[in-house]
Amino acid sequence: MFVQIRRWTITEGNSDKILERFKKKEGQGPTLIEQREGFISRELLVKNVRRGEEEVIMIIRWESEEAWKAWEKSPEHIAGHKEKIKEHGGKPPKPEYVINMEHGSYTVVE
C-alpha cells in the first residue's frame, strides 16, 4: 500500500474552507479520484485550535505507488490544477488563510 499525506496549517476559523474543497458533497456520486484504479480511501482530519491556528490533514491510500503516479499524471488531475492556476492569473493559488502546507508520500511496510 502507498499513502499520500497533506497537512495544512491555517488561520483559526478557516478549516472549513479546506474541508469544503475536499469533502464529498451530499448526494454526489464517486469523485474522480475515487473512480481511479488503485484508489483505496481518503480521510480528512481536523486538529483543535491552538495558538490561533488550525490543522487539517488529508490521508489518501492507494494500492501501489504506480496507482498514485497514474492519478498524478491523469488528464483529470492535471486539468483540475490548470483550472485553479488559470483562475488565479497564472500562479498556483495559495489562499491567505493558509500558513503552511506540507505533503509526503510513503510506502506502507507493515
Burial class (CB in 10 A: 0-12, 13-18, 19+), 18: buried
Listing from the earlier edge strand, what are the strands of the sheet with 98-107? Answer: 39-50, 53-62, 2-11, 98-107
**Which pTM value belongs to this model?**
0.82
Tell me the C-alpha to C-alpha distance, in Å, between residue 43 and each of 9, 34, 72, 97.
Answer: 17, 12, 18, 21
What pLDDT sits at residue 107?
96
pLDDT, tens digit (0-9, with 9 covering 90-100), for 3-53: 999 999 999 999 999 898 888 777 778 888 999 999 999 999 998 777 889
Q: Is 2-107 CATH 3.40.50.620? A: no
pLDDT, tens digit (0-9, with 9 covering 90-100), for 51-92: 889 999 999 999 999 999 999 999 888 887 666 655 556 666
> What sign does the CA torsion over 17, 29, 83, 33 have?
positive
Cell numbers at 53, concatenated: 491556528
